[in-house]
């Protein structure tokens, strides 16, 4: 009897640990994006790639731990918590991708010869950066508390406001509106804008897990009728 109770408790603790690992991955992602943006925009790169690689290794380890713990839990509990397990193994992909993208931004900072300035797009870029950082901060809070209203609000912001900030910048560069920018600046800005937009896409997937059923993760919020 005690052995059965112990095994049930141990299995439950594994799914809880997997959820906590996902939360920590998101918190680390929030830290990493701030550090990578600062490196690119100030040219203070010394030590940053190494620090971010170390954090990315932690994120990658958490990804493996989440999958292993979910699998072990489901193997021991049958169909109990199946949906929770599927959700965690789904969103852990987006959590890991956020870490990868911050490394991409740091690589830009390493190869770009000075601090990145956006010229005619400076104010747009500052607004986009601030929005990305704030979204991740709110995303951490929404995931930690499983706040459905905050998650819905964030999904709206991620689906419309970020697009309104990022698209004119990205398409302006593609259309050749590069007055005062060097070729290196324009290319770096185009890549950087793309990276910031991708981070928001992955965060949107994570937020969708709070408000949507499993089959609609990654899609717009839809009221149940």
**Max mean pLDDT range (43-57, 130-144, 152-166, 208-222):** 130-144
At residue 221, what are phi and psi to the nearest 5 degrees? -70, 135
Mean pLDDT within 57-85: 89
On the question of pLDDT at 3 being above 50, the answer is: no
For residue 183, being part of any structural domain is answered with yes
* Distance from C-alpha of 208 to C-alpha of 205, rounded to nearest angstrom: 5
Instruction: Please give the tally of structural domains in the chain.
Output: 1
For residue 205, being part of any structural domain is answered with yes
CA dihedral 70, 72, 78, 81 (to 10 degrees): -20
Would you tell me how many other CB atoms lie within 10 Å of the CB of residue 224? 5
For residue 222, being part of any structural domain is answered with no
Give the per-residue pLDDT at 12.
66
For residue 84, being part of any structural domain is answered with yes
- pLDDT tens, residue by residue, 88-132: 999 999 999 999 999 999 999 999 989 999 999 999 999 999 999
Instruction: Name the band, by pLDDT with cuts 50, 70 and 90, for residue 222.
Output: confident
At residue 178, what are phi and psi to the nearest 5 degrees? -125, 30
For residue 212, being part of any structural domain is answered with yes
Give the per-residue pLDDT at 11.
53
For residue 170, being part of any structural domain is answered with yes
| DSSP-derived secondary structure letter, 132 | H
On the question of pLDDT at 87 being above 60, the answer is: yes
- pLDDT tens, residue by residue, 159-190: 888 889 999 999 999 999 999 999 999 999 99
CA dihedral 72, 73, 74, 78 (to 10 degrees): 120
User: pTM of this prediction?
Assistant: 0.90
Q: Which domain holds residue 200?
A: 2-216
Instruction: Name the band, by pLDDT with cuts 50, 70 and 90, for residue 2.
Output: very low
CATH number for the domain that contains residue 20: 1.20.58.220
Name the residue with tokens 């600046």. 185
For residue 104, being part of any structural domain is answered with yes
For residue 207, being part of any structural domain is answered with yes
């Amino acid at each position: 009897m005690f052995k059965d109770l112990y095994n049930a408790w141990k299995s439950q603790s594994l799914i809880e640990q997997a959820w906590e690992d996902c939360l920590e991955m998101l918190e680390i992602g929030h830290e990493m994006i701030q550090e990578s943006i600062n490196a690119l925009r100030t040219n203070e790169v010394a030590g940053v790639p190494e620090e971010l690689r170390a954090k990315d290794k932690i994120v990658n380890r958490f990804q493996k731990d989440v999958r292993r713990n979910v699998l072990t839990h489901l193997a021991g509990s049958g169909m109990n918590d199946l949906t929770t397990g599927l959700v965690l193994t789904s969103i852990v992909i987006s959590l890991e991708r956020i870490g990868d993208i911050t490394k991409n931004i740091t690589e830009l900072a390493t190869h770009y010869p000075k601090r990145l300035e956006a010229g005619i797009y400076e104010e747009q870029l500052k607004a986009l950066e601030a929005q990305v950082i704030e979204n991740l901060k709110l995303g951490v809070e929404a995931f930690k508390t499983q706040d459905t209203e905050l998650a819905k609000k964030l999904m709206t912001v991620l689906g419309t406001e970020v697009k309104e900030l990022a698209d004119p910048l990205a398409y302006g560069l593609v259309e050749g509106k590069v007055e005062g920018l060097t070729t290196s600046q324009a290319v770096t800005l185009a890549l950087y804008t793309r990276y910031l937009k991708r981070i928001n896409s992955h965060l949107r997937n994570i937020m969708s897990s709070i408000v949507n059923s499993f089959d609609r993760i990654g899609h717009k919020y839809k009221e149940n009728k």
